[in-house]
Amino acid sequence: MKSQSIGQLALAAAAVAYLIGVYFASSPVWMGFTINALIIAVVAMSWNITGGFGGLSSFGHAALYGTGAYASAILQVKYGVNAWVGFAAGILAGAAMGAFIGALAFRYGLRGSYFALVTLAFAEVLRICASSFEFTGGGSGLQLKLAPGLANLQFADRTVVYTALLVVVAVVMILTALIKYSRFGAYLIAVRENEDAARALGIDTYRIKVQAMAISGAFGGLAGVLYLQLWLFIDSTVVYGSAISVEALIGPIIGGAGTVWGPLLGTLGLHLLGEGAKHLLPNAPGLNFVLYAVVLICALRFLPQGLVGLAGKFGAFTKKKEAEDA
């Protein structure tokens, strides 16, 4: 819906204020934490394309994230390819994996439980493969050579990394907004709401869904490459593990699935909550996931449209009134 409310603007403003505030906090811990959250936010935005707009809930977005990271890492480590080329290749590989999974899954019109299972299975197959073959570094993973510099896409200065990530996040959000207000976006939403009606209206629903998976794959692959360039190390559990798949879906659902700001807001909110919990109970690894799960359950029950939907109820200045008067 095109109408925005004061509540939503305030929410977006708060997020922006926080992201700018990180510059002035002069705390490397804080900045490092936000950097991690932003990478996850990109995966969340990737999930949002299929899960949010298309109503196709994937439980295995790690398949896309990991494929992007591995494609770039293999090219760089095994073939000495430049990091920028690896970057582009990672995005393309993610898109190709997305299209491939989509093409297989949608051939039989898989939805709901089935689609969730298939995506999960793909992520698992890839995880086991990546940990078993020498080509992918096996159990010990792949390590990039430390060589800071713009040419190698490695930055020693955290502030530069952070700024670059903010730019990437902004670009992905702008692309999301463009998709939302395009023919493709309208078709995707139509597919989510009622696939039969969409087909009747001349929409090739299979194609739309596969395209959505490809775009989602490109974003997911992008996130994977970002992670690689930041940590210079990946292994199968880190990039293909189920934790990524879970984080990919939980942020958008809490923030507001099918909205431009939802994935960012949800992911930031959750990570802040998790970080806060870590300070209260320092020796409890995994506690953040327990918290996420509780928040998820509550959000499903009480915030069906996520934070964005909730904020939309405050100070709405829609055209509704005029329309009723007319």
Partner 1 sequence: MSSLIFPAVLSGLMMGAVYALVALGLTLIYGVLHIINFAHGSLLMLALYAVYFLWYHLGIDPYLAIPIVLPAFFALGYALQRGLIAPMSSGSEQNVLLITLAISMIIDNLALYFWTSNTRTADIAYAYDTVEILGAFLPLGRVIAFCAAIAVAPLLWCFMAYTKTGSAIRAVAIEKRGAELVGIDVNHTYAICFGIGTACVALAACLLLPTFYITPQVGYTFVLVAFTTVVLGGMGSLPGALIAGLLLGVIESLCGLFLGESLGQIGIFLAFILILLFKPSGLLGRAR
Partner 2 sequence: MLEVRNLSKSFGGLKAVTDASLDVQEGSIVGLLGPNGAGKTTCFTMIAGFTKADEGSVRFKGQDITGLPPHRICALGMIRTFQIVQPFAGLTVQENIAVGAYLHHHNRNEAMSVARDVGKRLGMGAMLDRPASSLTIAGRKRLELARALATGSKLLLLDEVMAGLIPSEITEIVGIIRQIRDEGHTFLMIEHVMQAVMSLAETAYVLNQGKMIAHGPPRELVRDPSVVEAYLGHGAAARLQEENHA
Return the amino acid letter for 132: S
> Which residues 6+ apart lie within 8 Å of 233 measured at CB?
141, 142, 143, 144
Q: Residue from 181, 276, 290, 304 that binds partner 2 (CB under 8 A)? A: 181
**Using CA atoms, how far apart are residues 312 and 270, in angstroms rounded to an integer?**
20
Binding flag, residue 285, partner 1 (CB under 8 A): yes
Instruction: Tell me the CB-side half-sphere exposure of residue 7, using CA atoms within 13 A.
Output: 14
Nearer of residues 170 and 294 to partner 1, judged by Cβ: 294
- What phi, psi does 260 have (nearest 5°)? -75, -40
Binding flag, residue 263, partner 2 (CB under 8 A): no
**Shortest distance in whole angstroms from residue 305 CB to partner 1:** 12
CB 242 within 8 A of CB 134: no
Q: Is residue 142 helix, strand or coil? A: strand
Binding flag, residue 194, partner 2 (CB under 8 A): yes
Q: Residue from 34, 205, 245, 267 that binds partner 2 (CB under 8 A)? A: 205
Give the count of residues interacting with partner 1 (CB under 8 A). 40
Tokens of 112: 């709901």
**Using CA atoms, how far apart are residues 306 and 312, in angstroms rounded to an integer?**
10
**Residues 48-87 contacting partner 1, CB under 8 A:** 57, 59
Nearer of residues 20 and 128 to partner 1, judged by Cβ: 128
Q: Residue from 59, 106, 122, 187 that binds partner 2 (CB under 8 A)? A: 187
Return the range that interacts with partner 1 (CB under 8 A); candidates 63-71, 116-124, 166-174, 312-320: 116-124
**Shortest distance in whole angstroms from residue 7 CB to partner 2:** 17
CB 70 within 8 A of CB 136: yes
- Exposure string for 75-84, b = 16+ CB within 10 A, e = fewer: bbbeeeeebe
**Using CA atoms, how far apart are residues 223 and 194, in angstroms rounded to an integer?**
31
User: What residue 205 binds from partner 1, partner 2, none (CB within 5 to 8 A, per partner kind)?
Assistant: partner 2
CA 284, 286, 288, 289 dihedral sign is negative
Nearer of residues 28 and 304 to partner 1, judged by Cβ: 304
User: What residue 197 binds from partner 2, partner 1, none (CB within 5 to 8 A, per partner kind)?
Assistant: partner 2
Binding flag, residue 103, partner 2 (CB under 8 A): no
Interface residues with partner 1 (CB under 8 A)?
Answer: 57, 59, 104-105, 108, 110, 112-114, 116-118, 120-122, 124-125, 128-129, 131-132, 242, 246, 249, 253, 284-287, 289-290, 292-294, 296-298, 300-301, 304
